[in-house]
Amino acid sequence: MPKERALNPTAAHHKAEKQKAINKNKKTVQSQRNEKLSKRNPERLQKQIDELKDLEASGTLRAKDKEILASLERDLRGVKKARDALGDAAPKFAERRPGGVREEQRERRERMAQQQGHLGKRRRGEEHAVGSESESGGETDPEVRMIPMPRDTPPPFPRPRREDVSVDENGRRVPHALPAKLVPAAPAQTTYSSAPQLRDLKKEAVRFVPAAVAQQKARVKGVGRLLEPEEADRAEQAG
């Protein structure tokens, strides 16, 4: 019989604490999920499911709608389970009457109309009503007079009208003048000359002097080192 390994009390304590933390985290995540799901209206989900089931019964349900139907049914089960878990703490939703949507839309339009009236906008027929009230001599309440007028954007300034050149004095249109023709620039001309090239052969011959002769001439002129008397005589004889 194998011998049982003794458990370390410290390791067992850490293991128990870790398991408690995991269980606590699971409960927190589940409570957050239940709270999130409980905020969804199950009646609205059921209404969407009923509409999709009617389409399924008529045979016009697409494959994508089938996936949506399955997702809605899964969400509805989760919402009901979450609301049952919360019990009385689950949020309450107002019951919708048959004509509740239309009444809400009508009330919303009336509120928007009142807001537009406060902003200084008028409907058709209101100008006549305002004029009749002013003619009848009705006085405005002092509280209404204290309301500042809205600072609307002023209308743009009228632009000066340009004179149309294409219209004559009688108002008849005149054909547009053709643009001036572009005169092509004259191409550059190349001039060829056949005059002979004159060369000065003497100057060219003087340029080509051997190096030894050039050194002797430089020595005679005193450039470089001085010549000995014998070298000077030989240079004079050599020309």
Domain spans, the chain:
10-89, 208-238
Considering only residues 151 and 114, tell me which one the structure prediction assigns the higher pLDDT.
151
| pLDDT at residue 61 in the model | 80
DSSP secondary structure letters along 27-56: HHHHHHHHHHHHTS-HHHHHHHHHHHHHHH
**Cβ atoms 91, 40 nearer than 8 A:** no
Q: Is the dihedral of CA 75, 77, 78, 82 positive or negative?
A: positive
* pTM exceeding 0.75: no
Is the pLDDT higher at 199 or at 222? 199
Let me know: does 24 contact 31? Beta carbons within 8 Å: no
Q: Are 173 and 167 in contact (CB under 8 A)?
A: yes
- Residue 179's pLDDT is 78
Task: Judge whether 45 and 79 are in contact, CB under 8 Å.
Answer: yes
Report which residue type is found at 169.
Answer: E
**Amino acid in position 183:** V
Strand partners, 122: none
Condensed to tens digits (0 to 9), the pLDDT of residues 12-63 reads: 888 899 999 999 998 888 888 877 877 788 888 888 888 888 888 888 888 8
Report the distance separating Cα 23 and Cα 65, nearest Å: 38
At 138 the three-state DSSP class reads: coil
64-67 CB contacts, 8 Å cutoff, 24+ apart:
none
Calpha distance 82→37 (Å, rounded): 6
43-81 exposure pattern, b = at least 16 Cβ within 10 A, e = fewer: eebeeebeebeeeeeeeebeeeeeeebeebeebbebbee
Give the mean pLDDT of 209-229: 73
Ranking 48-62, 71-85, 128-142 by mean pLDDT, the lowest is 128-142
Which amino acid, one-letter code, is at 21? Answer: A
For the segment 5-12, the average pLDDT, to the nearest whole number, is 76
| Residue type (1 letter), 235 | A
* Phi (first) and psi of residue 179, to 5 degrees: -70, 155
Question: In angstroms, rounded to a whole number, what is the distance separating the alpha carbons of residues 88 and 113?
Answer: 40
